[in-house]
Amino acid sequence: MSEKQPKKKKTAGDVVLTVVLIAAICVFCYAGYNLFHIYTEYKKGTDEYNSITQMAVTERDPDGEAAGPEAGSELKAPMDIDFASLKSVNNDVVGWIYVEAVPDINYPIVHGKDNETYLHRTYEKNYNFAGTIFVDYENKGDFSDCNTIVYGHNMKNGSMFAQLKKFTQDEETYKKSKYFWIFTPEKNYRYEIISAYTTGVNSDTYTLFKGPGEEFEKYLEKIRGYSEIRTDAEGMNIKDKIITLSTCTGNEATRYVVQGKRVDTLDVGQ
Protein backbone atom coordinates (compact mmCIF):
# COMPACT_ATOMS: atom_id res chain seq x y z
CA MET A 1 0.00 0.00 0.00
CA SER A 2 1.48 3.30 -1.12
CA GLU A 3 2.00 6.07 1.32
CA LYS A 4 -0.08 9.24 0.97
CA GLN A 5 1.89 12.14 -0.40
CA PRO A 6 2.06 14.99 2.08
CA LYS A 7 0.16 18.14 1.08
CA LYS A 8 2.39 20.93 -0.05
CA LYS A 9 2.14 24.07 2.01
CA LYS A 10 1.53 27.27 0.10
CA THR A 11 4.40 29.64 0.41
CA ALA A 12 4.13 33.39 0.54
CA GLY A 13 5.42 33.46 -3.04
CA ASP A 14 2.55 31.23 -4.20
CA VAL A 15 0.00 33.52 -2.59
CA VAL A 16 1.52 36.60 -4.21
CA LEU A 17 1.59 34.89 -7.59
CA THR A 18 -2.08 33.93 -7.28
CA VAL A 19 -3.05 37.49 -6.30
CA VAL A 20 -1.06 38.93 -9.22
CA LEU A 21 -2.70 36.47 -11.62
CA ILE A 22 -6.20 37.34 -10.39
CA ALA A 23 -5.41 41.06 -10.63
CA ALA A 24 -4.09 40.61 -14.17
CA ILE A 25 -7.27 38.79 -15.19
CA CYS A 26 -9.39 41.57 -13.67
CA VAL A 27 -7.38 44.26 -15.49
CA PHE A 28 -7.68 42.34 -18.76
CA CYS A 29 -11.45 41.97 -18.35
CA TYR A 30 -11.83 45.65 -17.44
CA ALA A 31 -9.72 46.74 -20.42
CA GLY A 32 -11.71 44.45 -22.69
CA TYR A 33 -14.97 45.92 -21.40
CA ASN A 34 -13.71 49.46 -21.97
CA LEU A 35 -12.56 48.66 -25.50
CA PHE A 36 -15.93 47.09 -26.28
CA HIS A 37 -17.71 50.12 -24.83
CA ILE A 38 -15.56 52.52 -26.89
CA TYR A 39 -16.15 50.46 -30.04
CA THR A 40 -19.92 50.41 -29.55
CA GLU A 41 -19.95 54.18 -28.86
CA TYR A 42 -17.99 54.85 -32.05
CA LYS A 43 -20.26 52.55 -34.03
CA LYS A 44 -23.42 54.17 -32.69
CA GLY A 45 -22.14 57.62 -33.65
CA THR A 46 -20.96 56.51 -37.09
CA ASP A 47 -24.19 54.63 -37.81
CA GLU A 48 -26.30 57.65 -36.82
CA TYR A 49 -24.40 60.06 -39.06
CA ASN A 50 -24.41 57.59 -41.95
CA SER A 51 -28.17 57.39 -41.61
CA ILE A 52 -28.52 61.19 -41.55
CA THR A 53 -26.32 61.50 -44.63
CA GLN A 54 -28.43 58.97 -46.51
CA MET A 55 -31.56 60.87 -45.52
CA ALA A 56 -30.42 64.40 -46.35
CA VAL A 57 -27.63 64.34 -48.94
CA THR A 58 -27.93 63.88 -52.68
CA GLU A 59 -24.52 63.85 -54.31
CA ARG A 60 -24.26 65.18 -57.82
CA ASP A 61 -22.57 63.28 -60.62
CA PRO A 62 -19.21 65.02 -61.13
CA ASP A 63 -19.13 63.83 -64.75
CA GLY A 64 -22.50 65.38 -65.39
CA GLU A 65 -21.75 68.74 -63.80
CA ALA A 66 -19.58 71.61 -64.87
CA ALA A 67 -16.12 71.45 -63.36
CA GLY A 68 -16.08 75.07 -62.25
CA PRO A 69 -14.43 78.34 -63.25
CA GLU A 70 -10.98 76.74 -63.36
CA ALA A 71 -12.16 74.72 -66.35
CA GLY A 72 -13.92 77.69 -67.92
CA SER A 73 -17.35 76.48 -66.83
CA GLU A 74 -19.99 77.52 -64.35
CA LEU A 75 -19.32 76.41 -60.77
CA LYS A 76 -21.75 73.85 -59.38
CA ALA A 77 -22.20 72.65 -55.81
CA PRO A 78 -21.13 69.00 -55.33
CA MET A 79 -24.33 68.01 -53.50
CA ASP A 80 -27.84 69.01 -52.52
CA ILE A 81 -28.94 69.05 -48.88
CA ASP A 82 -32.50 68.37 -47.73
CA PHE A 83 -32.79 70.84 -44.85
CA ALA A 84 -36.49 70.17 -44.37
CA SER A 85 -35.66 66.58 -43.39
CA LEU A 86 -32.76 67.74 -41.22
CA LYS A 87 -34.96 70.23 -39.37
CA SER A 88 -37.55 67.55 -38.72
CA VAL A 89 -34.89 65.78 -36.64
CA ASN A 90 -33.14 68.78 -35.06
CA ASN A 91 -34.23 72.38 -35.49
CA ASP A 92 -30.81 73.67 -34.39
CA VAL A 93 -29.33 72.79 -37.78
CA VAL A 94 -27.83 75.77 -39.61
CA GLY A 95 -25.68 74.14 -42.27
CA TRP A 96 -23.78 71.20 -43.67
CA ILE A 97 -20.01 70.97 -44.13
CA TYR A 98 -18.15 69.08 -46.84
CA VAL A 99 -14.34 69.16 -47.25
CA GLU A 100 -13.24 68.20 -50.75
CA ALA A 101 -9.75 66.88 -49.90
CA VAL A 102 -11.05 64.74 -47.01
CA PRO A 103 -14.61 63.86 -48.06
CA ASP A 104 -15.25 61.93 -44.84
CA ILE A 105 -15.80 65.38 -43.30
CA ASN A 106 -19.40 65.48 -44.46
CA TYR A 107 -21.70 66.41 -41.58
CA PRO A 108 -24.58 68.60 -40.42
CA ILE A 109 -23.72 71.74 -38.44
CA VAL A 110 -25.78 72.97 -35.51
CA HIS A 111 -25.88 76.22 -33.54
CA GLY A 112 -26.79 75.77 -29.88
CA LYS A 113 -27.45 78.08 -26.95
CA ASP A 114 -23.97 77.34 -25.55
CA ASN A 115 -20.77 75.46 -26.42
CA GLU A 116 -21.52 72.53 -24.10
CA THR A 117 -24.76 71.04 -25.38
CA TYR A 118 -23.36 69.39 -28.49
CA LEU A 119 -19.94 68.46 -27.16
CA HIS A 120 -21.22 64.98 -26.34
CA ARG A 121 -24.67 64.97 -27.95
CA THR A 122 -25.18 63.73 -31.47
CA TYR A 123 -27.38 65.39 -34.05
CA GLU A 124 -30.29 63.30 -32.77
CA LYS A 125 -29.31 64.48 -29.24
CA ASN A 126 -28.18 61.05 -28.07
CA TYR A 127 -25.29 60.99 -25.61
CA ASN A 128 -22.12 60.06 -27.50
CA PHE A 129 -18.56 61.30 -27.24
CA ALA A 130 -18.58 62.08 -30.98
CA GLY A 131 -20.94 64.97 -30.35
CA THR A 132 -21.99 67.18 -33.27
CA ILE A 133 -20.20 69.72 -35.45
CA PHE A 134 -21.32 73.09 -34.08
CA VAL A 135 -20.90 76.84 -34.52
CA ASP A 136 -19.67 78.86 -31.54
CA TYR A 137 -22.75 80.09 -29.68
CA GLU A 138 -21.43 83.68 -29.76
CA ASN A 139 -21.44 83.63 -33.55
CA LYS A 140 -24.49 84.25 -35.67
CA GLY A 141 -25.84 81.04 -37.09
CA ASP A 142 -25.86 82.21 -40.70
CA PHE A 143 -22.06 82.35 -41.25
CA SER A 144 -22.22 86.11 -41.83
CA ASP A 145 -19.68 87.08 -39.15
CA CYS A 146 -16.15 88.15 -40.04
CA ASN A 147 -14.89 85.00 -38.31
CA THR A 148 -17.25 82.08 -37.71
CA ILE A 149 -15.78 79.35 -35.51
CA VAL A 150 -16.89 75.75 -36.11
CA TYR A 151 -15.90 73.01 -33.64
CA GLY A 152 -15.73 69.23 -33.99
CA HIS A 153 -14.09 66.33 -32.14
CA ASN A 154 -10.90 64.60 -33.27
CA MET A 155 -12.19 61.03 -33.01
CA LYS A 156 -9.75 58.12 -32.96
CA ASN A 157 -11.72 56.24 -35.60
CA GLY A 158 -11.14 59.12 -38.04
CA SER A 159 -14.65 60.53 -37.85
CA MET A 160 -15.91 64.08 -37.22
CA PHE A 161 -13.01 66.58 -37.55
CA ALA A 162 -10.21 64.02 -37.03
CA GLN A 163 -8.88 64.44 -40.56
CA LEU A 164 -8.39 68.19 -40.30
CA LYS A 165 -4.91 67.46 -38.96
CA LYS A 166 -3.93 66.12 -42.37
CA PHE A 167 -3.79 69.69 -43.64
CA THR A 168 -1.23 70.64 -40.99
CA GLN A 169 0.85 67.48 -41.40
CA ASP A 170 0.96 66.94 -45.15
CA GLU A 171 0.78 69.57 -47.90
CA GLU A 172 -0.38 66.84 -50.29
CA THR A 173 -3.81 67.01 -48.65
CA TYR A 174 -4.07 70.71 -49.51
CA LYS A 175 -2.87 69.97 -53.05
CA LYS A 176 -5.74 67.51 -53.52
CA SER A 177 -8.16 70.38 -53.05
CA LYS A 178 -7.97 73.73 -51.29
CA TYR A 179 -11.74 74.11 -50.98
CA PHE A 180 -14.48 73.21 -48.53
CA TRP A 181 -18.21 73.89 -48.64
CA ILE A 182 -20.77 75.17 -46.19
CA PHE A 183 -24.32 74.49 -47.37
CA THR A 184 -27.20 76.39 -45.76
CA PRO A 185 -30.96 76.47 -46.37
CA GLU A 186 -30.56 79.81 -48.19
CA LYS A 187 -27.16 79.69 -49.90
CA ASN A 188 -24.24 77.40 -50.67
CA TYR A 189 -20.80 78.80 -49.84
CA ARG A 190 -17.42 77.66 -51.09
CA TYR A 191 -14.32 78.54 -49.04
CA GLU A 192 -10.67 78.53 -50.01
CA ILE A 193 -8.23 77.33 -47.35
CA ILE A 194 -5.88 80.15 -46.38
CA SER A 195 -4.15 78.70 -43.32
CA ALA A 196 -3.66 75.40 -41.46
CA TYR A 197 -1.75 75.10 -38.18
CA THR A 198 -1.63 74.03 -34.55
CA THR A 199 -2.42 76.72 -32.00
CA GLY A 200 -3.10 77.24 -28.30
CA VAL A 201 -6.60 77.02 -26.84
CA ASN A 202 -6.40 80.70 -25.87
CA SER A 203 -4.97 81.80 -29.20
CA ASP A 204 -6.15 84.99 -30.90
CA THR A 205 -7.28 82.63 -33.68
CA TYR A 206 -10.56 82.42 -31.76
CA THR A 207 -11.19 86.18 -31.84
CA LEU A 208 -14.73 87.22 -32.78
CA PHE A 209 -15.41 90.59 -34.40
CA LYS A 210 -18.39 92.93 -34.27
CA GLY A 211 -17.68 93.90 -37.86
CA PRO A 212 -14.95 94.56 -40.43
CA GLY A 213 -12.30 97.10 -39.53
CA GLU A 214 -8.64 97.65 -38.73
CA GLU A 215 -8.61 94.96 -36.03
CA PHE A 216 -9.95 92.36 -38.45
CA GLU A 217 -7.48 93.46 -41.14
CA LYS A 218 -4.56 92.84 -38.75
CA TYR A 219 -6.10 89.50 -37.81
CA LEU A 220 -6.10 88.39 -41.45
CA GLU A 221 -2.39 89.18 -41.75
CA LYS A 222 -1.64 87.20 -38.58
CA ILE A 223 -3.49 84.02 -39.48
CA ARG A 224 -1.84 83.81 -42.89
CA GLY A 225 1.50 83.93 -41.09
CA TYR A 226 0.47 81.15 -38.68
CA SER A 227 0.03 78.60 -41.46
CA GLU A 228 2.28 75.54 -41.39
CA ILE A 229 1.65 74.91 -45.09
CA ARG A 230 2.04 77.13 -48.13
CA THR A 231 -1.33 78.23 -49.53
CA ASP A 232 -2.31 80.02 -52.73
CA ALA A 233 -4.81 82.45 -51.22
CA GLU A 234 -4.46 86.03 -52.45
CA GLY A 235 -6.22 89.35 -52.18
CA MET A 236 -7.52 89.07 -48.61
CA ASN A 237 -9.36 92.13 -47.30
CA ILE A 238 -11.70 93.21 -44.51
CA LYS A 239 -14.76 92.26 -46.56
CA ASP A 240 -13.77 88.58 -46.41
CA LYS A 241 -15.84 86.09 -44.44
CA ILE A 242 -13.63 83.60 -42.59
CA ILE A 243 -14.52 80.14 -41.32
CA THR A 244 -12.29 78.70 -38.57
CA LEU A 245 -12.53 74.89 -38.30
CA SER A 246 -11.16 73.72 -34.96
CA THR A 247 -10.50 70.34 -33.35
CA CYS A 248 -8.45 68.95 -30.47
CA THR A 249 -4.93 67.53 -30.85
CA GLY A 250 -4.83 65.12 -27.91
CA ASN A 251 -3.08 67.82 -25.88
CA GLU A 252 -5.51 69.85 -23.81
CA ALA A 253 -3.48 73.00 -24.43
CA THR A 254 -3.54 72.95 -28.25
CA ARG A 255 -5.88 72.66 -31.22
CA TYR A 256 -5.64 71.90 -34.93
CA VAL A 257 -7.06 74.72 -37.01
CA VAL A 258 -7.97 75.05 -40.69
CA GLN A 259 -9.21 78.44 -41.87
CA GLY A 260 -10.85 79.39 -45.13
CA LYS A 261 -12.19 82.54 -46.76
CA ARG A 262 -15.46 82.63 -48.68
CA VAL A 263 -14.80 82.79 -52.41
CA ASP A 264 -18.13 81.74 -53.94
CA THR A 265 -21.81 82.13 -53.05
CA LEU A 266 -24.32 80.03 -54.95
CA ASP A 267 -28.07 79.85 -54.85
CA VAL A 268 -29.44 76.59 -53.49
CA GLY A 269 -29.78 74.10 -56.33
CA GLN A 270 -27.18 75.88 -58.44
Give pLDDT tens digits for 11-35. Answer: 766 666 666 666 676 666 555 545 4
Burial of 68 (0-12, 13-18, 19+ CB in 10 A): middle
The CA distances from residue 162 to 156, 245, 247, 252, 255, in Å, are 7, 11, 7, 15, 11
Domain boundary assignment for the chain: 46-57+76-265
Residue 106 has pLDDT above 60, yes or no: yes
Annotated catalytic residue 153: yes
What is the rounded distance in angstroms from the CA atom of residue 143 to the CA atom of residue 141? 6
CATH domain 46-57+76-265 topology: Sortase; Chain: A; (2.40.260)
pLDDT at 86 over 80: yes
Per-chain mean pLDDT for the chain? 87
7, burial (CB in 10 Å: exposed 0-12, middle 13-18, buried 19+): exposed
Report d(CA 243, CA 261) in Å as an integer: 6
- Is the pLDDT at 241 greater than 90? The verdict is yes
Q: pLDDT category, 66, cuts 50, 70, 90?
A: very low
Q: How confident is the model at residue 74 (pLDDT cuts 50, 70, 90)?
A: confident
Rounded-to-integer distance, Cα 55 and Cα 84, Å:
11
User: What is the DSSP code (8-state) at residue 156?
Assistant: T
Q: Tell me which of 29, 120, 146, 153 is the catalytic residue.
A: 153
Give the Cα-Cα-Cα angle 248, 257, 102 (nearest 5 degrees).
90
pTM (two decimals):
0.83
Q: What three-state secondary structure class fits 25?
A: helix
CA separation for the pair 109, 113 (Å, rounded): 14
* First and final C-alpha spacing in the chain: 100
Q: Catalytic: 29?
A: no
pLDDT of residue 33: 43
